[in-house]
Chains A and B, each alone.
Chain A
Amino acid sequence: MHTMQVLVQTQPGGLMSIISRGFFGRQPQLDDPSRLPPGQYLTEGFPVLSAGPTPRTRLEDWTFQIRGMADPAPSWTWEEFTALPTDTVTVDIHCVTKWSKFDTVWTGVSIDLLLDGVDTGDARFLTAFCDGGYTTNLPLDEVTNGKAWVAYQFDGVALESQHGGPARFLVPHLYFWKSAKWVRGLELHTEDRPGFWETYGYHNHGDPWREQRYSGD
């Protein structure tokens, strides 16, 4: 009876799930299944996803700025930035396109350190801005207290340009589009301003544990 369909378990969206005849899948054999957010699968590779060409910024032209509150905006050259104290963190990352990768090792400067001494005033949100025009928005309290970095090494070596080098934002507890590639600075705002994917149908917040993939999730 190959056309027989079975319905199980009520979903939050109201629809019952359809059992796919002959689909067995590959249940991940994980030491700790709770590490994998809902709807994700584990990959060993490191897929690349970007909306446009990989930008080319020479390191001598690279700066990192924190705009929006302090005047003049705090700014670092590449030389200054890479002289700042770094953290090396081992984190799991989760892409909205369903792959997750465990135990990735990044080296970079914490947002706490970059904001240290900056009067953030009434700012409660920020926009990460990037070469190539990409932006993404986050609440300020999602990137402070050891939750986010500007990373420029992956696995101990310089971050490849296709993965966001020379430096990318790293916010591992949110879907990975929030970890903007080719980041050049943060702009602080008092109000939330949706970024690139956030205006093209993706969720404004992007928590993988609540499966906030798309607008309305």
Chain B
Amino acid sequence: MAGTAVLGRLNWLAAKVTHIRPETERVRSIFFECPGWDGHLAGQHVDVRLTAEDGYQAQRSYSIASAPEDDHLVLTVERLQDGEVSPYLADVLHTSDQLEMRGPIGRYFVWERSMGGPLLLIAGGSGVVPFRSVLRHRVASQVEVPTRLLYSSRSFDDVIYQEELAALAAYDEIDIRFTLTRSQPAGWKGYGRRIDHELLEEVSWKPEERPLIYICGPTSFVETAAGALVDLGHDPALIRTERFGPTG
């Protein structure tokens, strides 16, 4: 696994779309091959650059959805209303198209097997994307780290990676729990409300067990989750956050 030391400049690389997988009505995963990519850590992100025919360029950062061990570099992109780049990635880009990437970026919101656990991942909406990378890395590295994902979505149809998460939950020591905040299908057995103290206390390990906590989602979601976990006695130094601003 390379990429932990950035020695020189991160150069722009040409990445080619190999296939695309729809996830929800507004979200799809794009699989790339990216010659020259020097590896990444689970949780890192990448800068994407698009160039229009008149030379105009736009850059955005996206979390990497694939594990370091995976064959393809995967981005999972949600179409944001009024976005500039995300509608292009979510609707226009197709197989064999190319774009430019630069990364990996950020070495704090990462999990490596050597960091151990227990590992508590808390995702709101498309904040689940870096945790796909973490969970796949966790499985690929075959470590016995107790792992929980709490994933909050608006409705069942908004759940990204449905089949993959179901498959991951079949592993011993990987526990995935959902909460659906706006509507729940008939017979739903998961949580059915926004995250709160009680829900987080039920899902998390006790503070004395010192879980490594990663929270990713919209700002208000991250503020609520991080604040509640600090209230419950978790060490703020063990809580890593990644907030998705209203950028598109």
Contact = CB atoms under 8 A, between A and B. Distances in A.
Interface stretch (B101-109, B183-191, B196-204): B101-109
A39 to B, nearest CB: 5
B100 A15 contact: yes
A19 B60 contact: no
A117 interface: no
Contacts, number: 141
Given A25-B58, A48-B219, A162-B223, A13 B11 contact: yes
Contact of B51 (A17, A53, A55): A17
Contact of B241 (A51, A55, A215): A51
Nearest to B7: A216
A98 B47 CA distance: 10
Range, interface on chain B: 35 or more
A216 B223 contact: no
A126 B109 CA distance: 25
B241 A53 contact: yes
Contacts of A51: 108-109, 240-241
Interface in B62-109: 84, 88, 92-94, 96-100, 105-109
Contacts of A20: 50-52, 88, 93, 97-99
B9 A48 contact: no
Contacts of A197: 108
B171 interface: no
B6 A39 contact: no
Interface stretch (A1-9, A83-91, A107-115): A1-9
Interface in B229-248: 229-230, 236-237, 239-241, 243, 245-247
Given A53-B239, A55-B236, A216-B8, A23 B59 contact: no
Contacts of A133: 237
Contacts of A19: 51-53
A132 B8 CA distance: 30
A215 B104 CA distance: 11
Nearest to B6: A215
Tell me what chain B mostly uses at the interface: helix, strand, loop, or mixed: mixed
A23 B11 contact: no
B11 A214 contact: no
Interface in B1-55: 6-14, 47, 49-53, 55
A173 B11 CA distance: 25
A165 B30 CA distance: 39
Nearest to B99: A20
Contact of A15 (B14, B47, B226, B239): B14
B56 A45 contact: no
Given A3-B96, A18-B99, A98-B247, A53 B226 contact: yes
Contacts of A15: 11-14, 100
Given A53-B229, A98-B60, A200 B243 contact: no
Nearest to A161: B223
A52 B245 contact: no
Interface of B: 6-14, 47, 49-53, 55-61, 84, 88, 92-94, 96-100, 105-109, 219, 223, 226-227, 229-230, 236-237, 239-241, 243, 245-247
Interface of A: 2-3, 5-6, 8-9, 11, 13-15, 17-27, 39, 41, 43, 45, 47-56, 97-99, 132-133, 162, 196-197, 200-201, 213-217
14 contacts: A20-B99, A25-B58, A27-B56, A39-B57, A47-B243, A47-B246, A48-B219, A49-B243, A52-B239, A53-B241, A54-B223, A200-B108, A214-B10, A215-B10
